[in-house]
Structure 1
Amino acid sequence: MGEYGLKVTIDEDSGFCFGVVYAIDMAEEILAEDGYLYCLGDIVHNDEEVERLKAKGLRIIEHDVLKTLHNEKVLIRAHGEAPETYRTALENNITLIDASCPVVLKLQNRIKVSHDARENILIFGKHGHAEVIGLQGQTNKEALVFQDIAELDNVDLPQQITLYSQTTKSMAKFYSVKDTLIAKGYEVKANDTICRQVSNRDKELPKFVTRFNKIVFVSGKKSSNGKVLFEVCRGHNPDTYFVSSTDELHPEMFSPDDTIGICGATSTPMWLMQQVKNRLESY
Structure 2
Amino acid sequence: MGIPCIEVAQYAGVCYGVERALTLAKEAGSTATGPVCTMGPLIHNPIVVHELEQSGVSVANSVEDCVEGAVIIRAHGVVPQVIDELQNKGLQIIDATCPFVKKVHVAAERLEREGYQLLVVGESGHPEVEGIMGHAGMDAHIVSSPEDLHELELGRKVGIVVQTTQTADTLNAVVASVLPRVSELRVVNTICTATQERQASAAELASRADVMIVVGGKNSGNTQRLAQICSERCSRTYHIEQACELDPSWLEDAQLIGVTAGASTPAAHIEQVVEALRNASKA
Aligned residue number for residue 225 of structure 1: 222
TM superposition score normalised by structure 1: 0.90
**Paired position in structure 2 for 1:15:** 13
**1:48 and 2:55 equivalent?**
no
Query: Any residues of structure 2 matched to 1:32-47 within 5 Å, and which?
Result: 32-34=30-32, 37-47=36-46
CA distance in 2, matches of 1:232, 1:256: 22
Q: Secondary structure at the match of 1:67?
A: helix
Taking the aligned partners of 1:139 and 1:213, their CA distance within structure 2 comes to 43
The separation in 2 between residues aligned to 1:71 and 1:50, in whole angstroms, is 20
Matched, 1:61 2:60: yes
Q: Which residue of 1 aligns with 2:185?
A: 188
| Aligned residue identity for 1:49 | V
Q: Does 1:30 align with 2:23?
A: no
The alpha carbon displacement at 1:200 in A equals 2.0
Percent identical across equivalent pairs? 24
> What is the DSSP-based 3-state SS (H/G/I as helix, E as strand, rest coil) of the residue aligned with 1:9?
strand
- 1:74 positional shift: 0.4
How far the C-alpha of 1:151 sits from its partner, in A, is 1.8
Give the alignment partner of residue 109 of structure 2, picking from 94, 112, 118. Answer: 112
**1:112 partner letter:** E
Could you say if the C-alpha distance between residues 152 and 211 of structure 1 is closer, same or farther in structure 2, counting changes exceeding 3 Å? closer
Equivalences for residues 82-101 of structure 1 within 5 A: 82-101=79-98
TM value normalised by structure 2: 0.90
AA partner of residue 147 (structure 2) = A
Mapped partners of 2:108, 2:53: distance in 1: 34
Which runs of structure 1 show a deviation greater than 4 angstroms over 4 or more consecutive aligned residues?
none
Shift in Å, 1:134: 1.0
Q: Is the 8 A contact 1:6 1:280 kept in 2?
A: no
Q: Distance in 2 between matches of 1:153 and 1:76?
A: 35
Determine the C-alpha separation between the residues in 1 that align with 2:160 and 2:98: 21
Is 1:5–1:256's contact at 8 Å kept on the other side of the alignment?
no
1:147 aligns with 2:144: yes
Q: SS at the partner of 1:236?
A: coil
Equivalent residue pairs, number: 279
Structure 1: unaligned runs, 5 residues or longer: none
Query: Which structure has more RCO (C-alpha within 8 Å, separation ≥ 6)?
Result: 1
SS of 2:59's partner is strand
1:11-60 deviations in whole A, cap 9, x for unaligned?
35211110000000111111122375200111111111111111111101
Task: Report how far residue 187 of structure 1 moved.
Answer: 3.4
Unaligned runs of 5+ in 2: none
User: Which amino acid counterpart does residue 91 of structure 1 have in structure 2?
Assistant: N
Distance in 1 between residues matched to 2:57 and 2:242, nearest whole Å = 21
Q: Structure 2: how far apart are the matches of 1:242 and 1:101?
A: 25
Cα deviation for residue 199 of structure 1 reads 1.0
